């Protein structure tokens, strides 16, 4: 008899426990249970407000548990429309601005003419880091643009088979050169951070519009002017964003990333990348066609003394003072 009571007690306890467990379990996706519950895709999509309809799967690939993922439609719209507009406006707009600027201002000359004496601006190591970053950036930029615009602009001209081969090599180049680019950005960050904090000279430089206007007064600058500092910080911060989102895309679904996270990584990678390209086009213009005597600073590493006096007067004085009367200047060859 005692045994029977113990048994009943156990059953009652089990039922009570089951009741407690059932009452604390979250409400199911379907409003009502039972075989007659009529819940449709439409109702669930509305209920989840664009969220993923997901459940259990018995296969190892757990992301297969997503039954319907409506966010893909937004991403499709971003990929086929939004990103193309952003990229088109940023890049074509920048090119148009530069053409207008060039027609208006022409190449910015060294006002005092070349002195014939040069001084060291960038060491061999600085130039190596710059060109490492620059060369990989150009390849990454072109292969990236190919993914976004290639189908519309290059494929009709190249044909499907050649375009696919080129794009596949482009993908490998994009993936593997990212490591070299990362090294370049990290070295650039460490190498130039000391000269890129804002100073009072930058405020004045900004007020004078960088001295870029016609007959404009030259604006003060240390080794880097305010515009170059802004570029530096975009390269470092934008570069870091590109590197992080890029590796997330290269190692898909790591760190518990879902498909929505992958889409977000691609959205950031695409937008920042296109703005980055537009900015670097302006940088290339100012470093070549836009300004006399600028390219040689990264080319040979030296600049004309008059160029330094005009564009980076504070840096020039600094170099002169600790260079003991021009020890770091050297005669032209």
Partner 1 sequence: MARMKFLCDADRCIECNACVTACKNENEVPWGINRRRVVTLNDGKPGERSISMACMHCTDAPCAAVCPTNVFYTTADAVVLHNKDLCIGCGYCFYACPFGAPQYPQVSNFGSRGKMDKCTFCAGGPEADGSKEEYEKYGANRLADGKLPLCAEMCSTKALLAGDGEVIAQIYKERVKTRGYGSGAWGWLTAYRESIAS
Q: Which of 23, 36, 200, 215 binds partner 1 (CB under 8 A)?
A: 36
Q: Does 124 bind partner 1 (CB under 8 A)?
A: no
Contact 320, 326 (CB under 8 A): yes
Instruction: Using the Cα atoms of residue 255, residue 261, residue 262 and residue 265 in order, give the sign of their dihedral.
Output: negative
The answer to the question of residue 56 lying near partner 1 (CB under 8 A) is yes
Among 14, 16, 57, 327, binds partner 1 (CB under 8 A): 57
Identify which of 146, 232, 160, 225 has the alpha carbon closest to the alpha carbon of residue 189. Answer: 232
Report the 10 Å Cβ neighbour count for 267.
17
Instruction: Note whether 21 binds partner 1 by CB under 8 A.
Output: no
By beta-carbon proximity to partner 1, the closer residue of 66 and 195 is: 66
The answer to whether the CB of 270 falls within 8 A of the CB of 88 is no
Residue closer to partner 1, measured from CB, 61 or 333: 61
Could you say which of 122, 137, 163, 192 contacts partner 1 (CB under 8 A)?
A: 163
Closest CA to 147 of 129, 121, 168: 168
- Considering only residues 80 to 119 of the shown chain, the ones binding partner 1 according to CB under 8 A are 80
User: Which residues, in sequence order, are CB contacts of 189 under 8 Å at separation 6+?
Assistant: 236
Interacting residue with partner 1 among 118, 133, 136, 167 (CB under 8 A): 167
- Compute the distance between CA of residue 229 and CA of residue 283 in angstroms, rounded to an integer: 12
The number of residues that bind partner 1 (CB under 8 A) is 63
Using the rule CB under 8 A, give the single segment among 94-102, 108-116, 156-164, 208-216 that binds partner 1: 156-164
To 10 degrees, the CA torsion angle through 208, 212, 218, 221?
80
Residues near partner 1, by CB under 8 A: 25, 28-42, 45, 53-59, 61, 63-70, 72-73, 75-76, 79-80, 146-148, 150-151, 155, 160-161, 163-164, 167-168, 171, 175, 249-254, 259, 262-263, 266
């Amino acid at each position: 008899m005692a045994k029977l009571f113990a048994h009943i007690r156990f059953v009652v306890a089990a039922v009570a426990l089951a009741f407690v467990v059932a009452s604390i379990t979250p409400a199911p996706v379907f409003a009502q249970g039972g075989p007659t519950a009529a819940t449709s895709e439409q109702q669930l999509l509305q209920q989840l407000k664009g969220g993923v309809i997901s459940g259990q799967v018995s296969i190892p690939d757990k992301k297969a548990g997503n039954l319907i993922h409506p966010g893909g439609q937004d991403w499709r719209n971003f990929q086929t429309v939004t990103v193309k507009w952003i990229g088109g406006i940023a890049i074509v707009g920048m090119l148009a601005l530069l053409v207008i600027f060039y027609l208006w201002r022409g190449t910015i000359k060294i006002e005092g003419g070349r002195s014939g004496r040069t001084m060291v601006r960038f060491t061999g190591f600085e130039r190596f880091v710059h060109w490492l970053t620059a060369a990989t950036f150009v390849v990454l930029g072109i292969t990236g643009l190919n993914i976004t615009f290639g189908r519309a602009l290059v494929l009709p001209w190249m044909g499907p088979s050649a375009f696919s081969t080129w794009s596949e090599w482009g993908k490998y180049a994009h993936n593997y050169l990212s490591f070299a680019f990362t090294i370049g950005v990290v070295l650039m960050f460490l190498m130039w951070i000391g000269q890129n904090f804002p100073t009072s000279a930058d405020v004045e430089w900004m007020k004078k519009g960088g001295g870029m206007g016609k007959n404009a007064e030259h604006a003060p600058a240390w080794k880097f002017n305010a515009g170059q500092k802004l570029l530096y910080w975009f390269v470092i911060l934008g570069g870091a964003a590109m590197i992080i989102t890029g590796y997330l895309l290269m190692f898909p679904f790591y760190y518990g990333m879902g498909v929505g996270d992958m889409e977000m990584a691609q959205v950031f990678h695409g937008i920042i990348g296109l703005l980055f390209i537009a900015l670097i086009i302006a940088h290339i213009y100012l470093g070549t066609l836009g300004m006399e005597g600028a390219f040689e600073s990264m080319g040979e590493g030296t600049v004309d003394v008059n160029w330094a006096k005009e564009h980076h007067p504070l840096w020039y004085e600094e170099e002169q003072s600790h260079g003991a009367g021009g020890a770091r200047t050297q005669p032209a060859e």
